């Protein structure tokens, strides 16, 4: 069958072989950029949130991830009781607290 297609032979061109480091350089750069733009800020936010949750105290006014705003009335290891209206209390996980509001933010209560 070789009489239809002639064999192609490569000539001895001096091509520089790519270095292994040069081939991995884009992958390493991508990893570094990913770390500084995505991973590092997320870890920083997680540490700040953990610190904020650990420093919660009775009487703090908080906002939850679900949008509930109220004052902490009782605290446990994993759960807190939040008064959202006069005489209305809900029990939520400590980790669900998104932010601590300044004192006096909830004047209606």
* Mean pLDDT of all residues in 70-87: 94
65 and 106 share a domain? yes
Please check whether residue 2 lies inside any domain of the structure: no
Instruction: Return the SS3 of 67.
Output: coil
74 and 100 share a domain? yes
Q: For residues 82 and 96, what is the distance between their CA atoms, to the nearest angstrom?
A: 12
Place of tokens 């750069």: 29
Give residue 34's domain range: 21-55
Count Cβ neighbours within 10 Å for each residue of 73-106 and write b for 16 or more, e otherwise: eeeeeeebbbbbeeeeeeebebeebbebeeeeeb
Q: For residues 43 and 72, what is the distance between their CA atoms, to the nearest angstrom?
A: 27
Please check whether residue 9 lies inside any domain of the structure: no
Please check whether residue 100 lies inside any domain of the structure: yes
44 and 88 share a domain? no
Q: For residues 77 and 43, what is the distance between their CA atoms, to the nearest angstrom?
A: 23
**Residue 67: left (phi > 0), alpha (psi -120 to 50), or beta?**
left
Token pair recorded at residue 2: 């070789």
108 and 66 share a domain? yes
Confidence of residue 104 (pLDDT cuts 50, 70, 90): confident
pLDDT of residue 16 exceeding 70, the answer is no
Please check whether residue 1 lies inside any domain of the structure: no
62 and 80 share a domain? yes
pLDDT of residue 96 exceeding 80, the answer is yes
91 and 47 share a domain? no
* Mean pLDDT of all residues in 62-68: 94
77 and 103 share a domain? yes
Total of domains in the chain: 2
Please check whether residue 105 lies inside any domain of the structure: yes
């Amino acid at each position: 069958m070789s009489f239809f297609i002639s064999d192609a032979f490569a000539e001895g061109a001096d091509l520089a072989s790519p270095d292994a480091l040069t081939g991995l350089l884009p992958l390493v750069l991508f990893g570094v950029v990913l770390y500084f733009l995505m991973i590092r800020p997320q870890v920083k936010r997680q540490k700040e949130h953990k610190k904020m949750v650990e420093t919660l105290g009775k009487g703090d006014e908080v906002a939850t991830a679900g949008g509930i705003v109220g004052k902490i009335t009782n605290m446990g290891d994993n759960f807190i009781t939040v008064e959202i209206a006069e005489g209305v209390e809900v029990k939520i996980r400590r980790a669900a607290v998104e932010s601590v509001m300044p004192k006096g933010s909830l004047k209606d209560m």
